[in-house]
Amino acid sequence: GAVPMEEEEDDDDPENRIAKKMLLEEIKANLSSD
Amino acid sequence: GSFKTENERLFAEFLECCSRLTEEHPEVIPFLASRHQKAGAEFLASAEFRNVLGRCLTRVQSKRSKVYVYINELCTVLKAHTQRRKLALSSAP
């Protein structure tokens, strides 16, 4: 049968973690400025 | 030629791909979509945008663990090409 490919590891990557933080902060700043 | 239709398809594909990977933060996709809406029509139909989109899409499909890096990259590019309000520049001599 098919082998399931589950990779839930987006917090494992430091570069991804920083990008996520930056993005969420920008979204928050945008919401509050509206 | 214009890449408008192709870019719209690629962007929709990117959004769909990312929405599955950012379920924990549902505000990310609408934010990316609003950045896209605010970008200039000329840029959205450009080969430059097609290249960025194609690269981000290929990368997110092969490295899902960096999804926010690619979303951030695309947001930055779209922000840089946000349609500006018409400035009262006097071009007439």
Identify the closest residue of chain A to B67 by CA–CA distance: A16
pLDDT at B83: 86
Q: What is the pLDDT of residues B48-87, one digit of tens each?
A: 999 999 999 999 999 999 999 999 999 999 999 998 765 5
From A15, A26, A30, residue closest to B66, measured CB to CB: A15
Flag whether residue A7 sits within 8 Å of chain B, measured between CB atoms.
Answer: yes
Indicate whether B29 pLDDT > 70.
Answer: yes
Query: Hey, is A10 helix, strand or coil?
Result: coil
Distance, in angstroms, between B72 CA and closest chain A CA? Answer: 6
Looking at residue A15, its pLDDT comes to: 96
pLDDT at A9 over 70: no
Residue A34 near chain B (CB below 8 Å): no
* Chain A residues touching B31 at Cβ < 8 A: 23, 26-27, 30
Cα–Cα distance list, B35 to A19, B30, B80, B91, B93 (Å): 17, 9, 10, 29, 36
Q: Is the pLDDT of residue A8 over 60?
A: no
For every residue of chain B, DSSP letters joined together read: ---HHHHHHHHHHHHHHHHHH-TT-TTHHHHHHHHHHHB-HHHHTSHHHHHHHHHHHHHHHH-GGGHHHHHHHHHHHHHHTBPPPPP------
Higher pLDDT, B92 or B93: B93
Task: Provide the pLDDT for residue B87.
Answer: 58
pLDDT digits (tens, 9 = 90+) for B11-28: 999 999 999 999 999 999
What Cα–Cα distance (Å) separates residue B34 from each residue in B31, B55, B93?
5, 21, 38
Percentage of chain B surpassing pLDDT 70?
Answer: 89
Q: Is A29 on the interface with B (CB under 8 A)?
A: no
- The answer on pLDDT for A34 being more than 80 is no
A6 has pLDDT over 60: no
Asked if A23 lies within 8 A of B66 by C-beta distance, the reply is no
